[in-house]
Structure 1
Amino acid sequence: MTGIARHQASDSDELAGALSGWSQDYTQLGRGRLHAELLHIQLVEASLIYEHSNLHLHENMTPPEGQVVFGIPLSMSTDSTFNGGTLARDTLLVLEGGQEMEICAPGEIGMLGMTIDRRLLAHLLGAEEQERLEQALDRRRLDISPLSAQRLRQDLCTSIGAFERAEFDPRSADDGLRAVMPGLDCVFQGLDEVLRAPARHSGVMPRSLEQRRRLVLAAVEIMQARLDLPLSMPELCQALNTSHRTLQYCFRQICQATPQQFFLSLRLAEARRRLKQDPVQSITTLALDLGFASSSHFSSLYKRLYGEQPSLTSRRA
């Protein structure tokens, strides 16, 4: 359905459900209160997106099937990553709908993006541009020139502003085309610069990096199945048939956190979820159910991550 949706989120679960049609999961790793906003302008066969958050988050996402996603940072902290590789200010992301991927930002990040239906792209692009697009989809992550990146940011911001000021109507197919065409032109200008230039480095993820990413995903899957049970790092390493040093290295590269920090964040997120679902439950019982040694220890860790006591979360729910 076409239209403009704005969301303000103070919780990772709220943020995960904000983008219609996407499968998203956020793990808060940074301490403090989350302040996130998302603007989603759904057009006819396309969409425009702006997302901003202020804390260290790990995002796992899958765009809708049949869509191609073009994204670029608007603002960001250093050391942000996409699928474990560097996400720089002038990094263009070109993503296929239905494919799972991750972004990890150790602090503030703002992203601009547009999605375009595959059928519309087939109508708009010539044979050479289609070939460029497939090359870009294979790479996913391309470092374009600062000038092309800045033009893309400006065009996306201009198009978003036109809908916010009601100069464009999201229900109009013509307005939708007018909104995405300048950005699409900038995308292909950037792709031409990268793909026609002599190869300096490939945006394709090295096999070793892909293996590290898959190891982290497998570890997270085990963690999520053991949120209410003790899970030591030796147990986790044994289940994954890897060494403690390797697991630590992979988590630091992909998530910029240790496995222990990530597992603790998952357990605290589950506690926050349960407090909102059942505000009258005993915090002591909840803490023990999730494997914490005591309610005071749990409350201390909870406040350190979320900036508030669990009792305050219950009262707000």
Structure 2
Amino acid sequence: MHSDHFSVHAEQFSDVDEQASTLAGWEQEYQQLGSGRFVGALAIVETDEFCFIRESTNTALHERIVPPPEQMVIGICNTQAQGHLLNGRPLTQDQLIVLDGSRPHHIRTTGPIELLGISVPRELFLSQLHEQDEASVRKWLDLSVLQLDAATAGMLRHYFSVAFDLLNTPAGAAARPISPRALASTAISNVALALSLNQGSHELESTLPSRQRRERIVQNAIDYMRAHAGEEIGILDVCRATHVSRRTLQYCFEERLDISPLQYLKALRLNAAHREIKRRGSEDRAHDRHDTIGNLAALCGFNHPSRFASEYKKMFGVLPSETALKTAAQS
């Protein structure tokens, strides 16, 4: 017998790393790609089996996410803006997001976005579907998105919004007319209905190997960049490490993340510097803060400290020294 006990957590964020680390059991890393100060919000309603999630961010990001093992995440985008990507595929309001915890997923946002969804045990979700729909979902897990018609997508967005509103009402049976478990079960039923009404445009399975190869190229390149971000590496070094031509690397990054490899390397270094400044600032190292900022540019692959400071402020809206002072004041 299942309990209707649940917890609610809602928080506003000004730090992208804090937001990325909030979901328990998830492996997430967010790289800020857009300019300006980060503003985000995350609301979580969690029961024994289900987790409703509502997340918003205000700037361009690359999000690498791995849901908990044996879980599926079913969701939808609640933002009209175009240009967002999920695993290299366009992510719009009229697509159902279907992710599982067996592999990393990459979300590339181009600006403000709100995502609504629910995390459920994989086998529990699949057991609620008709045989034909289950086969469709298992296939589309490789692609991560299912095309819906506008009316069906609108129904799901409305349902998830209403579910959050009901769960955020004051505690008490009179105030909350439906239990969290019932809302979660209804969410699965609504998704199953959407799948029955919309089988989507079936992409040929023969395209999957090439898409998966391009995904591996990008992931291998990012792994190499991350491991050698503090060294004087260039794009040709990344090409040699991933055994592809410069043209292929450029195409794969632009298709999967809508950004060039060189731009991504610079953003990766700036985000690494941002995290290192916060780490050092939290260690009460006020006595050598000047030395910390002075050397950090070189440690993160920037040869000119003044250019580093300029690029850092353009990315995060503050100077490196301001981040250090703020972190030290909070520690």
1:29 aligns to 2:39 (yes or no): no
Query: Deviation at 1:306?
Result: 0.6
Question: In structure 1, which of residues 186, 192, 198 is the aligned counterpart of residue 196 of structure 2?
Answer: 192
Question: In structure 2, which of residues 160, 168, 185 is the aligned counterpart of residue 181 of structure 1?
Answer: 185
Contact 2:128-2:189 within 8 A present in 1 as well:
no
* Cα distance in 2, alignment partners of residues 132 and 259 from structure 1: 34
Residue aligning to 2:233: 231
Secondary structure of the structure 2 residue equivalent to 1:206:
helix
Question: In structure 1, which of residues 285, 291, 304 is the aligned counterpart of residue 314 of structure 2?
Answer: 304
Kindly report which structure 2 residues correspond to 1:122-201, keeping only aligned pairs within 5 A, or say none: 124-125=128-129, 130-131=134-135, 133-166=137-170, 175-195=179-199, 200-201=201-202
Contact 1:44-1:176 within 8 A present in 2 as well:
no
Provide Cα deviations, 1:220-241, integer angstroms capped at 9, x if missing partner: 0000001211111111111111
Query: Deviation at 1:71?
Result: 1.0
Question: In structure 1, which of residues 285, 288, 301 is the aligned counterpart of residue 298 of structure 2?
Answer: 288
Any stretches of 5+ residues in structure 1 without a counterpart? Answer: none
Residue aligning to 1:272: 274
- CA root-mean-square deviation: 2.3
* Cα distance in 2, alignment partners of residues 76 and 229 from structure 1: 40
Contact 1:7-1:18 within 8 A present in 2 as well:
no
Secondary structure of the structure 2 residue equivalent to 1:21:
coil
Question: In structure 2, which of residues 48, 51, 64 is the aligned counterpart of residue 47 of structure 1?
Answer: 51
* Cα distance in 2, alignment partners of residues 253 and 139 from structure 1: 14
Secondary structure of the structure 1 residue equivalent to 2:79:
strand
1:315 aligns to 2:325 (yes or no): yes
Provide Cα deviations, 1:94-113, integer angstroms capped at 9, x if missing partner: 22223211111111111000
1:85 aligns to 2:95 (yes or no): no
Going from structure 1 to structure 2, the CA distance change for 1:184 and 1:222 (only over 3 Å counts) comes to same
TM-score of the aligned structures, taking structure 1 as reference length: 0.90
Question: In structure 2, which of residues 9, 16, 24 is the aligned counterpart of residue 20 of structure 1?
Answer: 24
Which residue identity does 1:90 align to in structure 2? D
Going from structure 1 to structure 2, the CA distance change for 1:167 and 1:125 (only over 3 Å counts) comes to farther
* Cα distance in 1, alignment partners of residues 143 and 172 from structure 2: 33
Going from structure 1 to structure 2, the CA distance change for 1:244 and 1:168 (only over 3 Å counts) comes to farther
Going from structure 1 to structure 2, the CA distance change for 1:201 and 1:133 (only over 3 Å counts) comes to closer
Moved more, 31-40 or 139-148: 139-148
Query: Deviation at 1:13?
Result: 1.2
Which runs of structure 1 show a deviation greater than 4 angstroms over 4 or more consecutive aligned residues? Answer: 122-133
Provide Cα deviations, 1:5-44, integer angstroms capped at 9, x if missing partner: 1222222211210112111111111111111111111112
Query: Deviation at 1:163?
Result: 1.2
Kindly report which structure 2 residues correspond to 1:250-261, keeping only aligned pairs within 5 A, or say none: 250-261=252-263
* Cα distance in 2, alignment partners of residues 257 and 129 from structure 1: 35
Going from structure 1 to structure 2, the CA distance change for 1:168 and 1:80 (only over 3 Å counts) comes to farther
Any stretches of 5+ residues in structure 2 without a counterpart? Answer: none
Going from structure 1 to structure 2, the CA distance change for 1:122 and 1:232 (only over 3 Å counts) comes to closer
Query: Deviation at 1:183?
Result: 2.1
Secondary structure of the structure 2 residue equivalent to 1:267:
helix
TM-score of the aligned structures, taking structure 2 as reference length: 0.87
Secondary structure of the structure 2 residue equivalent to 1:113:
strand
Paired residues in the alignment total 311
Query: Deviation at 1:182?
Result: 2.8
* Cα distance in 2, alignment partners of residues 100 and 177 from structure 1: 28
Moved more, 280-289 or 228-237: 280-289
